[in-house]
Amino acid sequence: MAPAPSDRSPRHYVLLALKIAVSIILLVVLFSKIDAAQLWQGLRDASFPWLGLALALYFVNVVASMWRWHLLLSAQSVAVQPRRLLASFLVANFFNNFLPSNVGGDVIRISDSAKYTKSKTVATIVVLMDRGIGVMALIFIAAIGATAAVSLHPSAVPIWPAWLWAGFLGGAAVSAPAVLAPAGFGRLLQPLTVIHPEWVGGRIENLTGVLARFRARPRALAGCFLGALFVQATMVVFYSLVAYALHVNVPLSDLGVIVPISFVVQLLPVSLNGFGVREATFSLYFQKIGQPIAAALLLSLVGQALIMLFSVTGAAVYVSRSHARA
pLDDT higher than threshold 50 for residue 297: yes
pLDDT higher than threshold 50 for residue 3: no
Query: What would the pLDDT profile of 112-169 be if each residue is shown by its tens digit?
Result: 999 999 999 899 999 999 999 999 999 999 999 989 888 887 767 678 889 999 999 9
Give the pLDDT mean for 195-202: 85
pLDDT higher than threshold 70 for residue 102: no
Q: Which backbone phi and psi does 10 adopt, to 5 degrees?
A: -55, -30
pLDDT score for 6: 44
pLDDT score for 37: 84
Give the pLDDT mean for 213-227: 94
Q: Which residue has the higher pLDDT, 243 or 324?
A: 243
pLDDT score for 165: 94
pLDDT score for 4: 41
Q: Which of 182, 177, 221 is nearest to 205 (CA)?
A: 182
pLDDT higher than threshold 90 for residue 103: no
pLDDT higher than threshold 50 for residue 78: yes
What is the pTM for the complete model shown? 0.90
pLDDT score for 255: 94
Instruction: Provide the Cα torsion 129, 65, 19, 16; round to 10°.
Output: -80
Give the pLDDT mean for 25-44: 90
pLDDT score for 2: 42
Q: Tell me the C-alpha distance between 153 and 32, whole Å.
A: 28
Domain ranges of the chain: 46-314
Q: Are 69 and 249 in contact (CB under 8 A)?
A: no
Give the pLDDT mean for 60-69: 96
Q: Of the segments 147-156, 211-220, 317-326, which one has the largest average pLDDT value?
A: 211-220
